[in-house]
Amino acid sequence: MNQSMVLTGDRPTGQLHLGHYVGSLTQRLTLQNQYPLFVLIADTQVLNNDVIKGSHVKENILSLMRSYLACGLDPQKVIFILQSRVPALFELTQYLSNLVSLSLVMRNPTIKTENKLYNDNEQLNMGFLNYPIAQTADVILFGANLVPVGEDQVPILQFANDVIDKFHYQFNTSMFKTIEPLLSHYPRLIGIDGVNKMAKSLNNAIFLFDDEKSLKEKINKMYTDPGHIRVSDPGQVQGNVVFSFLDVFMRDKQHLEALKEHYKKGGLGDVTLKKLLFEEINIILKPIKEKEFAYSDKELLDILQSGTSYANIIAQDNMEKIRDVIFR
Amino acid sequence: MNQSMVLTGDRPTGQLHLGHYVGSLTQRLTLQNQYPLFVLIADTQVLNNDVIKGSHVKENILSLMRSYLACGLDPQKVIFILQSRVPALFELTQYLSNLVSLSLVMRNPTIKTENKLYNDNEQLNMGFLNYPIAQTADVILFGANLVPVGEDQVPILQFANDVIDKFHYQFNTSMFKTIEPLLSHYPRLIGIDGVNKMAKSLNNAIFLFDDEKSLKEKINKMYTDPGHIRVSDPGQVQGNVVFSFLDVFMRDKQHLEALKEHYKKGGLGDVTLKKLLFEEINIILKPIKEKEFAYSDKELLDILQSGTSYANIIAQDNMEKIRDVIFR
């Protein structure tokens, strides 16, 4: 258990989009060559905010696996895990819940934030309150200690470390590694509306498997500077959605700076800029789309099942040790 | 799933006592001949109020099994289940928790009462809040619909039926049977202190395996009427601990009424009464103690394991159906 291991994952809520690519998938492509990498498809977590979301989980799991492999995650290196098929995760979550007070959960900033985003008009449900505990179990059951997160998600890991501390103290052990964040260098990608972060539910996403026609249409919808009417007019770069995207996707940063100066002075048209953005994004998406159907549904499920079986061996072994500590 | 089935059980917190015998064990001896009977040893529930209680669970499980069989529960008829070894229970609990609001849990009278009894000075913990949900899972996973309870525990079953209703409504199904109480006709047995209900933790219990010497000592400790100093003095029956016990254990109720009249008039000594009570209780405990070592530890664990294996077959089959409804 001394080697560093990475655990990360996604909820199977729909197709992956450019926000995922920038925020996590590129990082995973690097990580798979540096550490043992577990990628957990969090299908039971999907039910936390809305049980009815269970209705598309099967197709969303396939969609995730298809995206992962198309992006270049290597099934020889990455251990893909289907959360609902690791029984010890449920068991460990229940044991850990005995160590966690309601007030500790309520203080968790992620619970506060997500509650605001999704549940404002609903009553808090127990599944939602249990979810940071379940996330802690996700990490420690497999012996992982590194978790890729954005700055805003660091409190989740602090919560997990609090739970680990309580476990260690309560059972006089030091069996779990401290969890450390692998901070993502990218802020969350904005959506094509230029207002909210990119999210399927907000209808502002560019999906990894969008065809070129859709990609063009979406880029054409982006706001630039409403005052920039004729090509010759000076334009605003600040708050200009196309430039926000170019900031992320344009590889030649020097050229980008020159374009910004040109745009501010006037004489650079939105159509030219949008064409450029299309090309920069298409360079990323084209090879991904070419691999969209490299694996059949059955092959994708086989890879997921094989990873899950391997993960279950680790999980059962660790769960045995955890039970021995609890029921000593 | 149309046949009525009974689920009941105990937390492995220590030796069983006369309170258990009167309140549940005798009822089970009848039930085992009427219905399929699941007896669940709730070892994970033990951790809800105090994780540290995990430290004696192994020996307490053996003690429970030894008591069950010594009392006459028949391993050919009863399915004994070790809760922690049915992974689907943890899974179902987690799924159900998505249907239950924090406020529904907080309104549960049992949560209120037990919180007062055990946790007054502690913060509410999530395991404790999850426990009525876990109890619901205990019953419905195996397809049971009858649960022996005292009047005070009926709200637990109402809670379970609320959760079932929510599940049925949410997933447009009617897969679970409504849970019905099998009301126990006995009130909770009082302890030898005559003040509190009989409980190991209150140091006022007569254990099933107490030897005759201990039984005599415990009965001798019982308060009678402090005003009844000489045998010839008239005595009080009301509030007299020995009579409280005779009310429960004396088989010849007519004789008991005559004794009460005699005692009130004067001329009936406490020593005579206590000797009588000893005999009545000893008639129950003697055959139980004779069977205390009828099974070896290994045989007891084998019976428990075999019941748990059988229960897991039912559990996995039902869990498959439940998953199909959730992840449809």
A162-221 confidence digits (pLDDT tens)? 999 999 999 999 999 999 999 877 778 999 999 999 998 899 999 999 999 999 999 999
- Chain A: residue whose CA lies nearest to B122: A101
Tokens encoding A306: 């094989």
For residues A254-275, b (16+ Cβ closer than 10 Å) or e, as one string?
eebeebbeebeeeebbbeebbe
Q: What is the pLDDT of residues B155-210, one digit of tens each?
A: 889 999 999 999 999 999 999 999 999 987 777 899 999 999 999 889 999 999 99
Measure in Å the smallest separation between the Cα of B244 and chain A Cα atoms.
38
Would you call A47 and B98 a contact, using CB atoms and an 8 Å cutoff? yes
Q: What is the pLDDT of residues B275-292, one digit of tens each?
A: 999 999 999 999 999 999
Measure in Å the smallest separation between the Cα of B138 and chain A Cα atoms.
14
pLDDT, average across residues A69-87: 97
Distant-in-sequence, close-in-space partners of B33: CB < 8 Å, separation ≥ 6: B77
* Alpha carbon distance A100, B324 (integer Å): 31
Would you call B126 and A98 a contact, using CB atoms and an 8 Å cutoff? yes
- Cβ neighbour number for residue B112 with a 10 Å cutoff: 12
pLDDT at B117: 57
| pLDDT higher than threshold 80 for residue B21 | yes
| pLDDT higher than threshold 80 for residue B111 | no
pLDDT at A120: 46
User: Strand pairing partners for A79?
Assistant: A38
Residues of chain A with pLDDT > 70, as a percent, come to 94
- Comparing CB atoms, the residue among B90, B125, B128 nearest residue A91 is B90
pLDDT at B50: 65
Q: What is the 3-state secondary structure (H, E, C) of A44-108?
A: CHHHCCCHHHHHHHHHHHHHHHHHHHHHCCCCCCEEEEEHHHCHHHHHHHHHHHCCCEHHHHHHC
| pLDDT higher than threshold 90 for residue B15 | yes
pLDDT, average across residues B263-273: 95
Would you call B98 and A125 a contact, using CB atoms and an 8 Å cutoff? yes
* Alpha carbon distance B39, B82 (integer Å): 9
Would you call A327 and B129 a contact, using CB atoms and an 8 Å cutoff? no
* Alpha carbon distance B185, A32 (integer Å): 64
Residue A22's nearest CA partner among A238, A250, A217 is A250
CA A166 to chain centre: 28
pLDDT at A184: 78
pLDDT at A285: 97
Tokens encoding B217: 């000592």
pLDDT, average across residues A129-157: 93
* Alpha carbon distance B276, A282 (integer Å): 94
Going edge to edge, which strands form the sheet with B78-82?
A: B78-82, B37-41, B6-10, B146-149, B180-183
Identify the sign of the CA torsion A35, A41, A42, A44.
Answer: negative
* Alpha carbon distance B54, B309 (integer Å): 23
Q: At how many degrees (to 10) do helices A154-171 and A109-118 cross?
A: 130
**Which site among B97, B115, B131, B162 would you substitute to test the A interface, given the most A Cβ atoms closer than 10 Å to its Cβ?**
B97
- Chain A: residue whose CA lies nearest to B316: A87
Residues of B with CB under 8 A from a CB of A: 43-44, 47-48, 51-52, 54-55, 57-58, 84, 87-88, 90-91, 93-95, 97-103, 105, 123-130, 133-134, 170-171, 323, 326-328
**Which site among A62, A97, A105, A136 would you substitute to test the B interface, given the most B Cβ atoms closer than 10 Å to its Cβ?**
A97
User: Strand pairing partners for A190?
Assistant: A197
| pLDDT higher than threshold 70 for residue B263 | yes
Distant-in-sequence, close-in-space partners of A27: CB < 8 Å, separation ≥ 6: A148, A182, A184
Q: Residue B93: helix, strand or coil by DSSP?
A: helix
Assembly ipTM: 0.90
Measure in Å the smallest separation between the Cα of A14 and chain B Cα atoms.
14
Tokens encoding B128: 């404790």
Measure in Å the smallest separation between the Cα of A65 and chain B Cα atoms.
17
| pLDDT higher than threshold 70 for residue B57 | yes
| pLDDT higher than threshold 90 for residue B309 | yes
pLDDT, average across residues B8-26: 94
Q: Return the minimum-mean-pLDDT range out of A27-41, A45-59, A153-167.
A: A45-59
Would you call B130 and A94 a contact, using CB atoms and an 8 Å cutoff? yes
pLDDT at A114: 63
Amino acid occupying residue A236: Q
CB A303 within 8 A of CB A65: yes
pLDDT at B184: 78
Tally C-beta pairs within 8 A across A and B.
132
pLDDT category at A121 given cuts 50, 70, 90 is: very low
Would you call A93 and B94 a contact, using CB atoms and an 8 Å cutoff? yes
Would you call B127 and A93 a contact, using CB atoms and an 8 Å cutoff? no
pLDDT, average across residues B55-84: 96
- Cβ neighbour number for residue A248 with a 10 Å cutoff: 16
pLDDT at B120: 46
Would you call A126 and B326 a contact, using CB atoms and an 8 Å cutoff? no
* Alpha carbon distance A101, B40 (integer Å): 27
pLDDT, average across residues A98-109: 87
pLDDT category at A156 given cuts 50, 70, 90 is: confident
Would you call B98 and A327 a contact, using CB atoms and an 8 Å cutoff? no
